[in-house]
Amino acid sequence: MSAPERSVAATVGALDVERLRRDFPALAQEVRGRPLVYLDNAATAHKPRAVLEAVQHYYAREYSNVHRGVHWLSERATEAYEGAREKVRAFLNAPDRREIVFVRGTTEAINLVAASWGGANLRPGDEVLVTEMEHHSNIVPWQLVCERTGAVLRVAPIDDDGNLLVEEFERLCGERTRIVAVTQLSNALGTINPVRRLVEIAHAHGALALVDGAQAAPHMPVDVQALGCDFYAFSGHKLYGPTGIGVLWARRELLEAMPPYQGGGEMIRQVTFEGSTWAPPPAKFEAGTPHIVGAIGLGAAIDYVRGVGLEAIARHERELLAYADEALAEVPGLRLIGRARERAGLVSFVFDDIHPHDVGTILDHEGVAVRAGHHCAMPVMQRYGVPATARASFALYNTREDIDALVAALHRVRSMFGR
């Protein structure tokens, strides 16, 4: 399976969504006696057959541990695992395959950077700058390392529409700022951040920049060289790949200098009881048997999305978002949370007098799966003074009919509540 470079978008212009939907067996099922309308893609996306088959095939035919055996199967497994690393490299346009570290997901990637880079480099009084719209996984690892090192966490505010206040960000980025950690696309608000600009600001102050790409990677082309960042993290499961696999990309010099995150097999050069030396990256950060088949499944997912074309996916989802904005404006009493100038992938909303959990339960009964909750972004909920929101989030396989079903179900919510 070589990475297909062709883009359907270039030839067709629009996605053939009906055809693509047939690639996803999970979409064909009924829930509660109704066809599934899956609008919880920001939580996790369904898997195309290509991914399911890759996972099945590797377990059934080419499975073995990697980097360990001299036998045929182990060589095949190693080749496939390292092949997946190359696919990730190409997907991110990273300069070097050795900069791709396989981890459990975005959460582990950020924890790795915070613990390893942060633990080695942060001093009392140093500052870590995040934004008010971060996911808990881009807040809590920094709090932990700040507690350990005496560094201080600073938070750049957002406005009422969910735009990051870039001037405030710039003002907060100062002499003591050692790293900024920002999401490229907010999972709670749908805001797209001007990451390139934020990275420039960080670098101008001598700070490093980590980008949380958990939401961005499935929805827009990503080029870490164009972004100019130092670390990039994303999760396989939101990109139509398996759970339990994700990626940390980091510039090679940084990985070379950073201490190991976990110790064990694979990450060493030599071990004696007097002391050990480390393997070069990425092995240094991949202690133990990795999620081999997860990585291979992620490689298949990347082939799939690149085959469809990220530009085409982004365009399709932009149309869905515009359609949803218009349709939701017609639902009385509904208020969008997050109306930033640049948005993608999702709509987050509340009713003033109906709790999101009630909305979620009633929608579920109509076969419409959305997320109701704080979306692991409690500070965002506090910022807007709501306990939770309902969120509909899109994938390449969603259609206008899905949004029509959402809106019809929302009308049902209102009529049930007699409002």
Partner 1 sequence: MSDLRDLYQEVIFDHNRNPRNFGRLEGATHRAEGFNPLCGDQLTLYLKVGEDGRIEDVAFEGKGCAISTASASLLTESVRGRTLEEAERLFRGFHAMIMDEPAGEPVELGKLEVLAGVKEFPARVKCATLAWHTLHAAIEGQEQVSTE
10 Å Cβ neighbour count for 318? 16
Which of partner 1, ligand PLP, none sits in contact with 106, Cβ below 5 to 8 A by type? ligand PLP
| Six token digits for residue 347 | 């709509």
CB-nearer residue toward ligand PLP: 106 or 348: 106
User: Would the CA dihedral through 123, 124, 129, 132 be positive or negative?
Assistant: positive
C-alpha span between 61 and 76 (Å, rounded): 10
Give the rounded distance of the alpha carbon of 172 from its chain centre.
26
What residue ranges bind ligand PLP (CB under 6 A)?
105-107, 135, 137-138, 183, 187, 212, 214-215, 235, 376
Measured CA to CA in angstroms, residue 45 lies from 215, 242, 348 at distances of 11, 9, 17
Which of partner 1, ligand PLP, none sits in contact with 387, Cβ below 5 to 8 A by type? partner 1
User: Would the CA dihedral through 37, 41, 42, 43 be positive or negative?
Assistant: positive
What residue ranges bind partner 1 (CB under 8 A)?
32-33, 354-358, 361-362, 365, 372-374, 378, 381, 386-388, 416-418
CB-nearer residue toward partner 1: 168 or 358: 358
Which of partner 1, ligand PLP, none sits in contact with 218, Cβ below 5 to 8 A by type? none
CB of 157 vs partner 1, minimal distance in Å: 21
Q: Taking the CA of residue 124 as centre, how many other CA atoms within 13 Å lie in the half-sphere pointing to its CB?
A: 0
CB of 344 vs ligand PLP, minimal distance in Å: 12
| Six token digits for residue 70 | 């001299």
CB of 89 vs ligand PLP, minimal distance in Å: 20
> Which one, of 229, 217, 214, 232, lies nearest residue 137 by Cα?
214
Which of ligand PLP, partner 1, none sits in contact with 215, Cβ below 5 to 8 A by type? ligand PLP
Which of ligand PLP, partner 1, none sits in contact with 293, Cβ below 5 to 8 A by type? none
CB of 192 vs ligand PLP, minimal distance in Å: 12
Q: Is the distance from CB of 194 to CB of 166 less than 8 angstroms?
A: yes
CB of 273 vs ligand PLP, minimal distance in Å: 36
Q: Is 33 left (phi over 0), alpha (psi -120 to 50) or beta?
A: left
H-helix or E-strand containing 129? strand 127-131
CB-nearer residue toward ligand PLP: 38 or 351: 38
Strands (E), 259-387: 268-272, 275-278, 334-336, 346-351, 368-369, 371-373
Q: Which 8-state DSSP code applies to residue 391? A: E
CB-nearer residue toward partner 1: 280 or 332: 332
CB of 367 vs partner 1, minimal distance in Å: 12
Which of partner 1, ligand PLP, none sits in contact with 235, Cβ below 5 to 8 A by type? ligand PLP
Q: Which of 146, 173, 229, 376 is catalytic?
A: 376
CB-nearer residue toward ligand PLP: 242 or 367: 242
CB-nearer residue toward partner 1: 239 or 386: 386
CB of 372 vs partner 1, minimal distance in Å: 7
Phi/psi at 337 (5° precision): -105, 110
C-alpha span between 252 and 237 (Å, rounded): 25
Which of ligand PLP, partner 1, none sits in contact with 168, Cβ below 5 to 8 A by type? none
146 is catalytic: no
Which residues form the catalytic set?
376
